[in-house]
Structure 1
């Protein structure tokens, strides 16, 4: 086979490789040293992204009483082309954080797990949660630096969540930001930012979900005085923390969720009416803060709330009911398509992702769940005494 490719200039071969699926690229690394060197190069790994979107689904199968993982190809065969994946050995009560550059992040207490579902590679990382003699909630974000091609992880330690309710704040007792990079495998603190003095994550368990778009990470947060919804941003490359002002109709106290529609930030606003819920979907235009436009509204004739889990590649929202039912709302026909998860148990989360080669040089993700849970228990015992 190589004799045929020798007739093609290397530049043409490289262009062809950019359109190949991940599984083919992994196999082609064994064809020649030249191909392996190119596929393994930091520039190719960072720039490669398959045009085909997949939907990662995790749910609890009540029949076998265990977590199930599957990947759905987001094309014309949607909901029919499903691939069951080997479950991750995650500890109990691990929560899902988000997706960036094709990587999934999970978190439990003082450990974060990063996993590439396309190539089954990943690693776990100790996350410091101690500050001023207390344990604190942390909010995580991550992405690839566009200049160095290095994976960065940002951590906001929510110091004020503890001290603002019980003590008069001292000047140095404020939220803090730290960054970890894969190349150095070390944490470093960033300078104080004025935004941190007013930032308040009223519910880090929910607000900790991140949305990553174009090298920028977004979280939904609050400004405590006066209490208003706001969106915090962190640029992975410049390491600058910023905020996105919401229009008055969204900033006022209410339940919001944020998501990504293609490469735009969107906000889902729910309004309760008698016997139904009304959901307004707002989009930030051109990445410009305070430029949100309502793009459509849909209704659910049930007192049960729904959660926006993400979007299909063509733009239809994927919605989860509290019962675990998973559907797609077709915005053009205003029809709801059931994805066939009724009766199998509760869907934990859904995440659209694209194939990537990131972490291809990492070993298989091995997790000693007992060690992780014992470490978390020892933290809580130490600070309870």
Structure 2
């Protein structure tokens, strides 16, 4: 009995030491953490705290992978790309139950997914939105959002919704929506949703733009969109709620030559098209938006030698053609190299 009393008291002492618990939790797999959240409210608060997130993921973008929809299905496949843990994918597939309408992953940001379903075919836009929520694929937790773009009970056309989430700065996320202005035809309006207030709020005045708002990239505290005419980068600072502009690299003067635009580990990159080029550049933006610079130079001839199907001879121009596009870029800083993921056009 004495042993039992000592053991019980020891367990109570350990259970009350938050620092020790944190060090134990940070070494556990995700599935164990999900179970331990059910032990008590105190354990749940520790595991879901911002401090624990920083301990477990000290660097940005800890989960590396691609999510793509399975044909004629609401299931999304996951391709694991984490070079540090290649044999431990966080999940194999994503399923969105409870809705017969098409679900789309509109944006991913530091481990969270922004998912929307629409009455419309996804090929023709996403307006009006039928439902919208933020989903954590690791914990399988989701939060349904009120519908964006609804003014006086009437839904406006929505051109893009994007997540703004930086776990290193705050455990709370925001969502930025670009919709039609209700005051002027041909103008756009920004709405911002805060996980803290749980409401949509109009931000700033209506504005004009020629951007594609369906593909925004969150970096440096701002959502970035490519403007094709004039050729600039339009960005919206989420905290200050202000706009800024930055020219694209000189070689990217038209839409067709942009193959990739995205962020990885707190770096913003843009890649020129590699269809008709053996060698192409990967550009990176300086944090102060002063310029783009060439971070990497890629020679496709070596890859084509290993994978002959990625190239063919275009007889019209008598040159080698690479019918591929860049899906993702992964930086391996400690090894001084990077990885590009390609997809075949055909």
Q: Normalising to structure 2: TM-score of the pair?
A: 0.69
Which structure 2 segments of 5+ residues have no match? 1-6, 119-126, 301-309, 313-320, 333-337
1:1-385 aligned at under 5 Å gives the runs 3=10, 6=13, 9-18=17-26, 20-41=28-49, 43-44=50-51, 47=54, 50=57, 52-60=62-70, 67-70=75-78, 72=80, 74-75=82-83, 78=86, 83-89=91-97, 93-107=102-116, 108=118, 109=127, 110=129, 111-125=131-145, 126-128=147-149, 135-144=156-165, 149-158=171-180, 174-192=187-205, 196-197=207-208, 199-201=209-211, 204=212, 207-222=213-228, 227-252=229-254, 254-256=256-258, 257-270=260-273, 272-273=275-276, 279-286=280-287, 288-299=289-300, 301-302=311-312, 303=321, 305-312=323-330, 314=332, 315-323=338-346
CA contact (8 A) 2:70 2:76 kept: yes
Query: What is the distance in 2 between the residues matched to 1:48 and 1:140?
Result: 30
Cα gap change, 1:264 to 1:9, in 2 (>3 Å): same
| Secondary structure of the structure 2 residue equivalent to 1:36 | helix
Report how far residue 283 of structure 1 moved. Answer: 1.3
Moved more, 279-288 or 257-266: 279-288
Query: What is the distance in 1 between the residues matched to 2:75 and 2:322?
Result: 24
Q: Deviations over 1:64-85 (max 9, x none)?
A: x774523526136637968433
Cα gap change, 1:48 to 1:288, in 2 (>3 Å): farther
| Secondary structure of the structure 1 residue equivalent to 2:22 | helix
Cα gap change, 1:28 to 1:60, in 2 (>3 Å): closer
State which structure, 1 or 2, has the greater radius of gyration over its C-alpha atoms: 2
Which structure 1 segments of 5+ residues have no match? 161-169, 324-385
Cα gap change, 1:313 to 1:4, in 2 (>3 Å): farther
Q: Normalising to structure 1: TM-score of the pair?
A: 0.63
Cα gap change, 1:148 to 1:313, in 2 (>3 Å): closer
Report how far residue 266 of structure 1 moved. Answer: 0.3
Q: Deviations over 1:341-371 (max 9, x none)?
A: xxxxxxxxxxxxxxxxxxxxxxxxxxxxxxx
Number of matched pairs: 297
Cα gap change, 1:40 to 1:171, in 2 (>3 Å): closer
CA contact (8 A) 1:70 1:82 kept: no
Cα gap change, 1:77 to 1:46, in 2 (>3 Å): closer
Report how far residue 128 of structure 1 moved. Answer: 1.8
CA RMSD between the two structures = 3.8
Query: What is the distance in 1 between the residues matched to 2:25 and 2:271?
Result: 38
CA contact (8 A) 1:129 1:137 kept: no
